Amino acid sequence: MSAAGLDYRFLKLGGVDIEVGMKGTGSPVLILAGEEQLETTLPLIGELAQSHQVVVPSAPGFGKSGRPDWMTSPDDIAYLYLDLIDAMALKAVAIVGFSLGGWIAAEMAVKNDTVLSKLALVDPYGVKIGGPFDVDIQDIWTSHPDKVAALKWHDPKKGERDYTAMSDEELSIVARNLESFARFCWDPYMHDPKLKQRLHRIKAPTLFIWGENDGIVTPAYGKAYAGLVPGAKFASIPDAGHYPHIEQPAAFKKILSEFLG
């Protein structure tokens, strides 16, 4: 059981062992964590589980999930997660996707949104808004870590992690997550060239939630992204960067709760 009270098990989907955390009963909410998997320990999970069945899978190559060689993009992960919904016989699923998880959620929705009740995307990557020489998404791979932290967090201290306190297993997962993130998102850089042309297919009620101080993908990027999804709403949270759910949990919970009902 995790710090958030999740009960973990493994499901084999398409020959891949996927780690899945579960908690609560009720209408299902699928939480798609970001590339750092910071969401798996959020108090928000326990709060949602009071009235929902919360399902938190680890994407292939993240956490303890397997990662077959044939999987090379978030698009591939999206199909696997749609298989997960089928395998668990989930109906009218609300998806909450964070960062990379938000990108994957969007990929799922353009393929089949009939299984979805609502879609909440929190500072997701996934599309190229400007031209070939416009920097829509900041370089997080070759920039100095201090610069990346300043872009990612309104208060960079909230992003500090004490690696010396982690076990070898925890550190190996951190390294594995970073490696898998690079594998899936390096080329093309942090977007799917086809996704932008498919977002019109999303019919489920959609809400984009953005940190006003996100310097990795700015609110302007987020508003343009939201504008590609029919009827999508956009909400911003002050004094928050790329992880508004961590920096401003109360404001985030209020917005999400009102959306999920």
- pLDDT reported for residue 171: 94
**Residue of 98, 85, 63 lying closest to 178 (CA atoms):** 63
Helix-, strand-, coil-residue percentages of the chain, each rounded to 5: 40, 20, 40
- pLDDT reported for residue 4: 67
Furthest-apart CA pair in the chain: how many Å?
48
- pLDDT reported for residue 1: 42
Residue numbers of the chain with a pLDDT score lower than 50: 1
Q: Is the separation of the CB atoms in 14 and 50 below 8 Å?
A: no
- pLDDT reported for residue 70: 94
- pLDDT reported for residue 190: 96
Task: State the Cα–Cα distance between residues 155 and 208, nearest whole angstrom.
Answer: 22
**Residue of 185, 175, 212, 19 lying closest to 102 (CA atoms):** 185
User: What residue ranges define each of the domains in the chain, with the CATH number in brackets?
Assistant: 7-260 (3.40.50.1820)
- pLDDT reported for residue 65: 97
- Residue 206 has what DSSP assignment? E
